[in-house]
Structures are given as C-alpha cells and as structure tokens.
Amino acid sequence: MKLFYPLIIVIIFILSIFDLIVGLINDAVNFLNSAIGSKVASRKTIMIFASLGILFGSFLSSGMMEVARKGVFDPSYFYLSDLIFIFLAVMISDIILLDIFNTLGLPTSTTVSMVFCLLGGAFSIAIIKMSSPLCNEPLHHLSNYIKAEQTLTIGIGIFLSILISFTSGSLIHYFIRLLFSFEYKSKLPCIGVIWSAMSLSSMTYFLIFKGIHRVMEEHLTKIDFLIHPFIMCIHHQFYIVLFLLFCTWLLVSKLLVSLGYNILKFVVLYGTFSLAMAFSGNDLVNFIGIPIASIQSYNIWTSAGCPPADKFNMTSLSGKVAVPSLILIFSGVIMILTLWFSKKTKKISSTELNLSRKHEEHDHYNDTCLSNFVSREIVRFFLFVGKTFFNLFSKRFLVKIEKNFKQKIQKDESIAFDLVRASSNLTISSILISIATVHKLPLSTTFVTFMVSMGTSFSDRAWDRETAVYRVSGVLKVIRGWFVTGLIAFTMSGITATILYFFKEWAIIFFLCLITFVVYRSYKTYQKTSYQKVREKTSILKNGNLTLETTLKNYSDILEIMISSIETIYQSSIEGIINNNLKNLRYNRTKFLELQENLKHIQNSLIRVIETSTKPYYGILYMRIYNTIKELVYSSDILTNQTLCHVINSHKPIKIWQKNNLIILQHLIINYFKIIIHEINYKTYKKNNAIKIKIFQHIESQMNQQGIGIINHKYGKKNTLLMLDILIQSKSITENLEKILLLYLNGLSIDVYKKKYATFIV
C-alpha cells in the first residue's frame, strides 16, 4: 500500500494532461472565433497571438487554484483517502464528459464540468461517511462537508453570466454599430481611433495591471517590494491610470491610422491575445487545479510521517499553498501545442460561427433545429417589446438610425462578420472574464464568449424575422447542453467516486480501460464523421459566379450523386420489405438521412446561387434542380419510412403474389434509373415511352389487384396503406426522373432554354 497513493497521484497527473488537451479543444473556440470569423489575418498569425496569450495567462492562475482545493467542500471533514478518490473521480469524469462533447461538436463549459464534478464526488463520499456505522450523522450535517452557500454562489455566478454577457454584448455593440455603421472604413480616422483607444486601454488595465497586482500579492520577493508601492498606486488611482492609458492608445491608434493601417485589425489581434490570456488565467484551474490539489494533499500527508491515509484528516489543505511556476508553464505549453495541432477545434467553432452569421445559407440551425414553443414565444415577446418601444420615437428618427444597420451583400461568404463586431466580441468578453478572474470567481469563459457573440449578432440584425426563431432555438439548445453538463458531471463523478471508494485498485483499472475505450471510440467516430462529410458534401457554390458551363457542370455532379443514391435506396426499400429484413431497412433509412443532408446543401445555397448567377436563366435552372430533386427525395422519404415502420412494428408480411409483383416493378424501375443515368452522362435523349408505359401499367394493375383484394378481405389496412405508398411513390419517381433528364438536356441548348426560362417553374 506504500505505492498505492503515489501511483494514484501519477495517474491523476497523466489524466490531467489529457484533460488539458480535451479542455483546450473545447475552449479554443472562446478566443479564436472572433478573429477567425472576421478573417482579420492568416490562421497562423491568429494562433501566434492566442499562444502568447495562453502562455502569459498561465502565470496568473494560481489564485484560482483555491477553488479546486476548498471552494466546493471543506477539506477538514475528509481524510486523505477520501480526497484522493474524489480528485481521481473528478479527472476521470471530466475527461470522458469533455471528450464526448468535443466529438459531437458541442461547446460545453469546462468550469461547470469541473465544479459539478467536484460537487458530485464530494457529495457521494460525504454521504458514504455520514451513513457509515461509525459516524451515523444526520443528513443536515451535510452542510459541514459541502460548502453549500459558496457552491451556490459559484453556480449563480456562472449561470448569471449568460444573462449579463448577452445583455452587455447586445447593448454595448448596438451603440458601437450606431456610431460605425457597416460602412465603417470611412469612420476609422475619427470614431475608429476613439473606440480602439477605449478598447485597448480597458483590456490593458484589467489584463496587465490587475494581473500583476494579484501576482504581487501572492509572490512577494525583495524586488517585488520595490515595485509593490508603484502597483498599489496604480490600483488606487484607477481613473487617472485609465485616462493615461486611453491617451497613450489614442496616440498609437492615430499614428497607425495615419500610416494607412486598419486599426481594428490590431484591436482584434490584441483582443485575441487578451482573451486567450484571460481564458488561461481563469480556466487553467479547470484542468490542473485537481492534480495540484492532489499533490499538495500527498505532500501534507508525507510531511506528517505517512500515518494511515483513511484516518489522516486534511485540515491543512485549507491553508494557502503556493503553486509551482514550472507546473503553470508546463500546462501552458501543452495547451499551446494542442491549439496548434488539434483538428477538433474547427468542428466546435462552427456552432458559434453559424449562429452568428448574417447569411441564411450558412445558418446550420435554420434547418436542423426545429423551432419550439419557448423560442417562438421569446421571439413574439421581443417583437412586441420592440414594436412598443420604437413607437415612442418619430419615424424620421428611426429611419435615420436604420441607415446605420443596413448591410450590403457580402462578397466573401467565408467572413462570418466584420471587424467592428469582432472587436466588440473580444473587448466585452475579455473585460468580463478579467473582472471575474481578479475577484477569483470561476466565471465560465464559454458562457461569456458565446453569449456576447450572440448579443452582438442580435444587435447587428443577424437575427432577422426569417431566422430568429431557429437561431433562438439553437442558442437554447446550447444553453440546455450547458445545464445538462452540470447534471451529468455531478452524477458521473458521484458514481465514479463511490465505485473507487469501495473497489479501489480494481475500480482504477476498470476506469482507466474505460477512458481508453471512450477516447479511442470518439476518435474513430470523429474520423469517420469528418471523412463522410468531406466525401458526401456537394457544395454548389464552389465555382463563384455561375455561367452556363459551371451551372451544367455542377448540375451534372449533383445528379450523379443524388440519382445513384436514390436508386440504391429504392432498391433496398423494395428488397427489405420483400424479405422482411429489419436490419437492412434500418441501414437504408440511415442512408436516406445522409441523402437528405446532401439536399440541404442545395436548399441552403439556393437563394445565394440565384443572386450570383450571371444570367437569370442559370439561376432558374438551379431552382428546377432543387424542385425536382426535392420531389425525388420526398418519395424516398415515404418509401424508407413506411417500409421500416411496417417491419419494425411486426405487421404481417406482404403476400407472396405482392412480393412477385414488387420484384417485377423493382426490375423495371431500376432499369429505368440506369437508362436515365446513362443518357445524362452521354447527353442524349431517346424517348423511353415504352418502358415508362410498362411501369405505369404495372402500377395500375397492382392497384386494381389491391382493390379487389380489399373487397375480398385478402388485405388488411396496414398492408393496403403500405402497398399504396410504394406504388404511388414508384410512379412519382418515374415521372421525376424523366423531368430531370429533360431539364438537363434543355439546359444544354442555350437558345431553347432562353425561350423557356420565364415559364419554366412548376
């Protein structure tokens, strides 16, 4: 047993490295998105500024480490063995939880995860100790073990940051945009210089002077005593120092603008540095606070002569303990390496960028997140409040204000927002996080940066009436994920701590194997998902402005993928219902959902494609693409859904003569698919009336047989509805296949298409 606790300490430190990696992957979005979304510089330049911020911020984290040691529970009521199992349970739960969220591409809060993991682990061990025969304490003594009031304060502070951040972001940025407008470049010499000076001076004060002041309080040396009076003077002369900073940055900004440099670019890069620094100073505790607390506990135990660990009280852990600078530097280096080499950060950052964009075709939540009652009522409430508020002002005044919020069509669709909004995001977020860090409050950087970004996009009218409900639904989904994080973290850590407490060595081996399995599976899942998205995505905006040649080239590529997929799905649906094969029908439904995702790429880009068309009939050709393919996909949806529902609900299999008829129909339609694909590839058209008539006749014959069978009580309700769906959708697919072919061939003849485009939409 002498090596048992040192081994656990080593395991905790190894796990902390993985926790640093998965945590940084999740939180990198917080300080990178504004710079990446505005395309302020190359990704390499952005990463350099962020890396420097992380390195400097790691030196300012030691004060926050107290949260991990005594912020949630009272160490004096626990033994060394209790705390070691709590710390190990927190690390195991945190890694598994964050890795799962990262793989799914969902931003979560590492602060919430850490706090609730600590709370869950401490709660479960406290309940075990209180209910043991030796103690048998009443339940109300739980308040001695758990710092309920302080934990509640931390929780309220974390979740209040949602409201504070959104309100601050929307209100402050509204006035900033009112001054700048979207045509901000002409206002840079005057308004731009003033805003830049305000932004840079406020960030500098909170990040540099406040950070240095706290470090001076915690690490006093002989040299520090010489600087300490100067720092204290700065601290007490707040307004004078802030004014001097403002004047300094005002001169610097004016100089840069006079040299022709866009000062907002410097603000965004400096803001990226400061937000990364604030993140590292505030959130580093989430990753290394637990291992540092564990090694400090172990050192206290060994200095006491290594008494029995299950009887050694940890009151000494409540005192003030310095954190070695080497550990902070090492942690910062790991975070920087992860930032540069991890690919998962791009996936997580897409959630915030999609919800912040102005353009609907990039709005992921516009399609995938259905509106719900809460989001609809929120939008209606704000529409009512807005209408009531603006009725207080004259129309002339409102029209004058509205001019500053009109945005021209953006040429570069890869830019999510402009430099004005990016600078607001970074300035507001870094100041809020810095204030919390100075007061040693574990504010969630994810909550702050995400909600500030939502607030500024709201002020910029990115949330118009066409997308507001869907974007609110998307934001509520993310917030719901944050709350679920707390519940899952509490439960998972509590269960893990309980298992570790009773099973010790065997439990440690089990959880290490579990972590290895989860990380491996999530890595494989991420790789598979990334590969499929790259392979299957069919972007129709890849060639910029549309000409006839690019239109037909894109059209041909889309048809090749979509028609082949629909052919496979149709064949699998018929074979699945004939053989009553549930496994194949489930797989077939999955393939259909992938096909549906491809259709959404066309749907999301439809309006933008028409806007970028060089001639109106090119855009109309794309409208026809969307219309006809949508009808085919709709038919496939009914086929895959109805066949799967019939088999999964264990309804009676279809009759033998129905199977034989479906085999014949399947053979005819699959041949028709092959003919259509061949003619599209070779750009030829031979009237296929014979095979089409044969298909229709066969469908009509089966419908007649179905009717006669119902009269003779041969078929039940479920059988009839299934067969009618199959027959009707088979006919619809046949008709739309020919329509697609004719559309494509008409598009090849520019003269024919010019004459027809005005009345071509059906």
SS3 label, residue 313:
strand
Which pLDDT belongs to residue 237? 72
Look at residue 97 and tell me whether its pLDDT is greater than 90. Answer: no
CB atoms within 10 A of CB 236: 9
Which pLDDT belongs to residue 739? 85
Which pLDDT belongs to residue 531? 44
The residue with greater pLDDT, 414 or 86, is: 86
Quote the domain boundaries for residue 695.
541-759
Phi-psi category of residue 715: left, alpha or beta, with phi > 0 → left and psi -120 to 50 → alpha: beta
Token pair, residue 431, equals 């100041």
Look at residue 251 and tell me whether its pLDDT is greater than 90. Answer: yes
Look at residue 465 and tell me whether its pLDDT is greater than 80. Answer: no
Indicate if 627 and 513 belong to the same structural domain: no
Indicate if 520 and 663 belong to the same structural domain: no
What are the CB-based long-range contacts (under 8 Å, 24+) for 680-689? 680/556, 680/559, 680/560, 680/563, 680/740, 680/741, 680/744, 681/560, 683/745, 683/748, 685/741, 685/742, 685/745, 688/738
From the list 283, 244, 229, the residue with the least C-alpha distance to 53 is 283
Overall average pLDDT of the 242-270 stretch: 90
Are 445 and 27 contacting, i.e. CB atoms less than 8 angstroms apart? Answer: yes
Helix axes 263-303, 445-459, angle to 10 degrees: 160
Overall average pLDDT of the 156-181 stretch: 85
Distance between CA atoms of 644 and 432, rounded to whole angstroms? 52
Indicate if 549 and 520 belong to the same structural domain: no
The residue with greater pLDDT, 305 or 622, is: 305
Overall average pLDDT of the 163-169 stretch: 88
HSE, CB side, 13 Å, CA atoms: give it for residue 84: 26
Look at residue 512 and tell me whether its pLDDT is greater than 80. Answer: yes
Are 574 and 666 contacting, i.e. CB atoms less than 8 angstroms apart? Answer: yes
Distance between CA atoms of 158 and 152, rounded to whole angstroms? 10
Indicate if 120 and 11 belong to the same structural domain: yes
pTM of the predicted structure, to 2 decimals: 0.68
Q: Which residue has the tokens 């995702």?
A: 597
Indicate if 565 and 425 belong to the same structural domain: no
- CA 15 to mean position of chain CA atoms: 24
Are 187 and 257 contacting, i.e. CB atoms less than 8 angstroms apart? Answer: no
Whole-angstrom distance between the N-terminal and C-terminal Cα of the chain?
Answer: 80
Are 88 and 11 contacting, i.e. CB atoms less than 8 angstroms apart? Answer: yes
Which pLDDT belongs to residue 537? 44
Angle CA 203–206–207, to nearest 5: 75
What are the CB-based long-range contacts (under 8 Å, 24+) for 243-249? 245/200, 245/201, 245/204, 245/205, 246/197, 246/198, 246/201, 247/197, 248/201, 249/196, 249/197, 249/200, 249/201, 249/204
Are 58 and 280 contacting, i.e. CB atoms less than 8 angstroms apart? Answer: yes
Which pLDDT belongs to residue 307? 85
Look at residue 762 and tell me whether its pLDDT is greater than 50. Answer: no
Which pLDDT belongs to residue 446? 74
Look at residue 483 and tell me whether its pLDDT is greater than 50. Answer: yes
**The total number of structural domains that make up the chain:** 2
Q: Which of 513, 532, 551 is where one domain is finished?
A: 532
Overall average pLDDT of the 135-151 stretch: 78
Q: Which residues, in sequence order, are CB contacts of 303 under 8 Å at separation 6+?
A: none
CB atoms within 10 A of CB 753: 20
Which pLDDT belongs to residue 107? 63
User: Could you tell me the pLDDT band of residue 162, with boundaries at 50, 70 and 90?
Assistant: confident
Indicate if 667 and 551 belong to the same structural domain: yes
For residue 146, list its beta bridge partners. Answer: 73
Overall average pLDDT of the 40-44 stretch: 84
Overall average pLDDT of the 329-338 stretch: 82
Amino acid at 180: F
Angle CA 145–146–147, to nearest 5: 120
Provide the 8-state DSSP code for 323.
P
User: Could you tell me the pLDDT band of residue 689, with boundaries at 50, 70 and 90?
Assistant: confident
From the list 167, 247, 260, 151, the residue with the least C-alpha distance to 204 is 247
pLDDT digits (tens, 9 = 90+) for 704-754: 988 888 888 888 888 888 999 999 999 999 988 888 877 777 665 644 444
Q: Which of 511, 532, 553 is where one domain is finished?
A: 532
Indicate if 684 and 736 belong to the same structural domain: yes
The residue with greater pLDDT, 174 or 233, is: 174
Name the average pLDDT for the chain: 78
Burial class (CB in 10 A: 0-12, 13-18, 19+), 518: middle
Are 722 and 646 contacting, i.e. CB atoms less than 8 angstroms apart? Answer: yes
SS3 label, residue 73:
strand
Q: Which of 500, 532, 564 is where one domain is finished?
A: 532
Look at residue 573 and tell me whether its pLDDT is greater than 80. Answer: yes
Which pLDDT belongs to residue 667? 92
Look at residue 366 and tell me whether its pLDDT is greater than 50. Answer: no
SS3 label, residue 79:
strand
Indicate if 495 and 564 belong to the same structural domain: no
pLDDT digits (tens, 9 = 90+) for 282-314: 667 667 778 888 888 888 888 888 888 888 888
Are 718 and 646 contacting, i.e. CB atoms less than 8 angstroms apart? Answer: yes
Q: Which has the minimum average pLDDT: 80-89, 414-423, 503-512?
A: 414-423
Which pLDDT belongs to residue 39? 83
Indicate if 658 and 731 belong to the same structural domain: yes
Q: Which has the minimum average pLDDT: 607-616, 655-664, 707-716?
A: 607-616
Overall average pLDDT of the 330-341 stretch: 82
Token pair, residue 382, equals 């704000």
Q: At residue 106, what are phi and psi to the nearest 5 degrees?
A: -105, 125
Q: At residue 242, what are phi and psi to the nearest 5 degrees?
A: -65, -40
DSSP structure string for 167-206: HHHHHHHHHHHHHH-S--GGGIIIIIHHHHHHHHHHHHII
Indicate if 524 and 552 belong to the same structural domain: no
Distance between CA atoms of 730 and 724, rounded to whole angstroms? 10
pLDDT digits (tens, 9 = 90+) for 186-232: 888 888 899 999 999 888 877 766 555 555 555 544 445 555 566 66
Q: Which has the minimum average pLDDT: 19-33, 120-134, 478-492, 642-656?
A: 19-33
Q: Is the dihedral of CA 551, 552, 557, 559 positive or negative?
A: positive
Look at residue 546 and tell me whether its pLDDT is greater than 60. Answer: no
Are 571 and 608 contacting, i.e. CB atoms less than 8 angstroms apart? Answer: no
Are 617 and 757 contacting, i.e. CB atoms less than 8 angstroms apart? Answer: yes
CB atoms within 10 A of CB 338: 20
CB atoms within 10 A of CB 239: 7
Are 105 and 512 contacting, i.e. CB atoms less than 8 angstroms apart? Answer: no
Token pair, residue 270, equals 């400096």
Q: Which has the minimum average pLDDT: 60-69, 250-259, 485-494?
A: 60-69
CB atoms within 10 A of CB 486: 21
Indicate if 316 and 388 belong to the same structural domain: yes
Indicate if 394 and 283 belong to the same structural domain: yes
User: Could you tell me the pLDDT band of residue 533, with boundaries at 50, 70 and 90?
Assistant: very low
Which pLDDT belongs to residue 88? 92
Are 367 and 600 contacting, i.e. CB atoms less than 8 angstroms apart? Answer: yes
The residue with greater pLDDT, 317 or 257, is: 257
The residue with greater pLDDT, 600 or 414, is: 600
Token pair, residue 106, equals 């969902």
Q: Domain with 611 in it: what CATH number? A: 1.20.58.220
Distance between CA atoms of 422 and 436, rounded to whole angstroms? 21
Token pair, residue 502, equals 């009773």
CB atoms within 10 A of CB 293: 27
Which pLDDT belongs to residue 636? 92
